[in-house]
Amino acid sequence: MRYDNRPQKLPDVISIEEFNELLKVTKKPHNRLAFKLGFLCGLRISEVVKLLPEDIDLNRKMLFIRDAKGGKDRYVPFPSALTRDLKVLPFKIGKRAIQKSISILSEKALKKKIHFHTLRHSSATYYLHKGMDIRYVQQLLGHSNLNTTQIYTHISPDNLQNKMDEIWK
């Protein structure tokens, strides 16, 4: 959280459609899984590469995120569609290789370079726009302070225009 008066820049995000385009050009299973964990579960790249098979609870559909930022542990739910992909674990590549892959593949698929953290920002934004309570998003991301999560409550100009049109039709 900032304590000065500098304006806070909104995080870069991609839409679900853009994410699907990224997946279409992603051929390596470990990259596909990493990207899905970033977007679908809101994981940080450091959390992704540390994930082990024993951290997966298939019955409860939960991932155990060990020693995340701030030394905290947490459980993160995952969608059923991710179950088959999780067989790729453990990751045999590091953070830099994943970051390089997303940079190259996003340029190819989206004609713009994104960072892995963009997937986490996009995840939070997507879930909030789909109506998920901000406290659930806070827990999903592992934020201690709700103020940290509130940056994702930004309103896109398109959504604002749609609401304006709804009111004035």
Residues identified as active-site:
44, 69, 117, 120, 143, 152
Q: Give DSSP secondary structure letters for 79-123.
A: -GGGTTGGGGPSP-S-HHHHHHHHHHHHHHHHSS---HHHHHHHH
Residue type, 59: N
Listed residue (36, 156, 162, 25) closest to 103, CA to CA: 25
Q: Write out the two tokens for 151.
A: 């940056």
- Using alpha carbons, list the distances in angstroms from residue 10 to 7, 15, 40, 98, 167: 9, 15, 20, 24, 26
